[in-house]
Amino acid sequence: MPTMSSFLQKRPTHHPFSNPYALSPRFSSSSQRPISIFSRSGLIILLSLMVFLGLLLPWTGMPQFMFQNTASSLSKWRDYTLPEAVSFVAKNGTVIVCAVSQPYLPFLNNWLISIARQKHHDKVLVIAEDYATLYKVNEKWPGHAVLVPPAPDSQTAHKFGSQGFFNFTSRRPQHLLHILELGYNVMYNDVDMVWLADPFPYLEGNHEVYFTDDMAVVKPLNHSHDLPPPGKKGRTYICSCMIFLRPTDGAKLVMKKWIEELQAQPWSKAKKANDQPAFNWALNKTAGQVDLYLLPQAAFPTGGLYFKNQTWVQETKGTHVIIHNNYITGFEKKIKRFREFGLWLLDDHVLESPLGRL
Ligand SMILES: *[C@@H]1O[C@H](CO)[C@@H](O)[C@H](O)[C@H]1NC(C)=O
Ligand SMILES: *[C@@H]1O[C@H](CO)[C@@H](O)[C@H](O)[C@H]1NC(C)=O
Ligand SMILES: *[C@@H]1O[C@H](CO)[C@@H](O)[C@H](O)[C@H]1NC(C)=O
Ligand SMILES: *[C@@H]1O[C@H](CO)[C@@H](O)[C@H](O)[C@H]1NC(C)=O
Ligand SMILES: *[C@@H]1O[C@H](CO)[C@@H](O)[C@H](O)[C@H]1NC(C)=O
């Protein structure tokens, strides 16, 4: 049984039910000296905290176990299910998800800072692809990470183009389909992204599936929102990196087709596929039956455009919403490029992340 003071010390700095900035700064530093419960101010803090929790708990629907900070809480996160996690983080029927393994934690944190700036971090659910990530995120930010077993082999899951990476990304449509079947809107993001503005106003109309083009060719500002015509390989180059889905039959159909396409064209040494072609074939094959919506290029440019054409960036200044650090591989190169463009927010703004310093 932990003592109350160890509870206080280990208590994550940002609780999901509260505005972290409303708490006294005393609680926002993890390097603070322990507060003794025997001191007068310690007692006062303790009492106010108990009143605070007592008032809020009945309203949050937060599972009680989140307040136990013992070793056994680790095994409880192990049993935390996707339906529980989604119902805990969703706001207004919507969740924002990403899928992350341990090496991507710095990118997760960078992405979260940018989302916190748009005040949408409260509905972020991290789908952890290994137990280390599950425990780390939930330790800092209880309830915001879930692991859908079985965890992929983390040693082999990281190299772009490898079979491990393919296996890892292949789980994505299954997670998304499950969330749709639970009845939620879901936005998926890769974590090598940075939000510069709020994307939600761009999800206009009542379409079923929203996505962005991964083509770097500059389009007119008033380009069509339809699925673009197929490119050289007979298919489109829609990015599987940023997708918004409403829980409709059409959106579920696209996810089912995506899963089928991944199974029909499994990874091979020759092709070194990732999950994106399968997503594009799924869109191609369901286009007549589903209401699809291509988001504007100026707001959601591919990294192949944003990082490579400064003329275009200047011309479209003020219109960019989400920047994707793709068209480059390797953690170090991505970080270097984010730094060069002032988008590696971890350096100076880490405390803006709900995870704090990792
Ligand atoms: C909640 O969702 C509805 C429908 O999707 C939307 O119109 C509304 O603006 C959302 N409200 C908030 C506070 O996000
Ligand atoms: C990927 O998945 C396939 C099929 O489930 C499995 O046979 C293979 O061992 C996995 N490979 C890696 C590297 O994870
Ligand atoms: C975009 O604007 C141009 C010039 O005003 C016009 O000719 C074109 O038809 C427009 N395209 C679309 C898709 O609306
Ligand atoms: C689907 O792909 C085929 C083959 O490239 C193409 O002929 C067809 O126009 C595509 N359909 C749609 C809706 O993009
Ligand atoms: C870069 O952007 C400018 C301005 O939009 C455009 O005219 C030009 O074609 C682009 N260059 C390349 C290489 O795509």
pLDDT at 168: 72
Give the Å distance between the CA of 234 and the centre of ligand 4.
Answer: 7
Residues 6+ apart with CB under 8 A from 188: 96, 97, 98, 172, 176, 242, 243, 244, 245
148 and 128 Cβ atoms separated by less than 8 Å: no
Give the Å distance between the CA of 163 and the centre of ligand 2.
Answer: 7
Amino acid at 130: D
Q: For ligand 4, which residues put their CB under 6 angstroms from it?
A: 227, 230, 234-235, 284, 287
- Ligand positioned closest to the Cα atom of 219: 5
Give the Å distance between the CA of 219 and the centre of ligand 3.
Answer: 11
Measured between alpha carbons, how far is residue 294 from residues 61, 105, 197, 321 in Å? 37, 29, 18, 14
Consecutive 10-residue runs of the chain (358 residues): their mean pLDDT?
A: 36 36 32 47 58 49 51 83 98 97 96 98 96 96 95 65 72 96 98 98 97 97 97 93 98 96 72 77 97 98 98 98 96 97 97 96
Residue nearest to atom 6 of ligand 3 (CA): 222
Token pair for 146 = 């879930």
Q: Which atom of ligand 3 is least distant from the CA of 222? A: 1
How far is residue 14's CA from residue 106's CA, in Å, rounded to a whole number? 18
Answer yes or no: is the C-beta of 221 below 6 A from any ligand 5 atom: no
pTM of the model: 0.79
Answer yes or no: is the C-beta of 311 below 6 A from any ligand 5 atom: yes
- Ligand positioned closest to the Cα atom of 308: 5
User: Which mutation among 219, 222, 294, 297 tests ligand 3's pocket best, with the greatest number of atoms within 8 A of CB?
Assistant: 222
Residue nearest to atom 3 of ligand 4 (CA): 234
Residue nearest to atom 9 of ligand 3 (CA): 222
Measured between alpha carbons, how far is residue 282 from residues 68, 95, 233 in Å? 44, 23, 15
3-state per-residue secondary structure call for the chain: CCCHHHHHHHCCCCCCCCCHHHCCHHHHCCCCCCCCCCCHHHHHHHHHHHHHHHHHHHHHCCCHHHHCCCHHHHHHHHHCCHHHHHHHHCECCEEEEEEECHHHHHHHHHHHHHHHHCCCHHHEEEEECCHHHHHHHHHHCCCCEEECCCCCCHHHCCCCCCHHHHHHHHCHHHHHHHHHHCCCEEEEECCCEEECCCCHHHCCCCCCEEEEECCCCCCCCCCCCCCCCCCCCCCCCEEEEEEEECCCHHHHHHHHHHHHHHHHCCCCCCCCCCCHHHHHHHHHHHCCCCCEEECCCCCCCCHHHHCCCHHHHHHCCCCCCEEECCCCCCHHHHHHHHHHCCCCCHHHHHHHCCCCCC
Answer yes or no: is the C-beta of 60 below 6 A from any ligand 5 atom: no
77 and 134 Cβ atoms separated by less than 8 Å: yes
pLDDT at 12: 36
- Ligand positioned closest to the Cα atom of 162: 2
Answer yes or no: is the C-beta of 118 below 6 A from any ligand 5 atom: no
Q: Which atom of ligand 2 is least distant from the CA of 156? A: 13
Give the Å distance between the CA of 186 and the centre of ligand 1.
Answer: 13
Please give the distance of CA 201 from its chain centroid, rounded to a whole number. 18
Answer yes or no: is the C-beta of 153 below 6 A from any ligand 2 atom: yes
Residue nearest to atom 1 of ligand 3 (CA): 222
pLDDT at 352: 98
Which domains does the chain carry?
Answer: 4-62 (no CATH), 78-352 (3.90.550.10)
pLDDT at 156: 60
Residue nearest to atom 2 of ligand 2 (CA): 167
- Ligand positioned closest to the Cα atom of 221: 3
How far is residue 120's CA from residue 294's CA, in Å, rounded to a whole number? 22
143 and 15 Cβ atoms separated by less than 8 Å: no
Please give the distance of CA 124 from its chain centroid, rounded to a whole number. 6
pLDDT at 1: 38
Residue nearest to atom 12 of ligand 5 (CA): 309
**Residues 111, 117, 118, 120, CA torsion sign:** positive
User: Which mutation among 284, 286, 291 tests ligand 4's pocket best, with the greatest number of atoms within 8 A of CB?
Assistant: 284
pLDDT at 319: 98
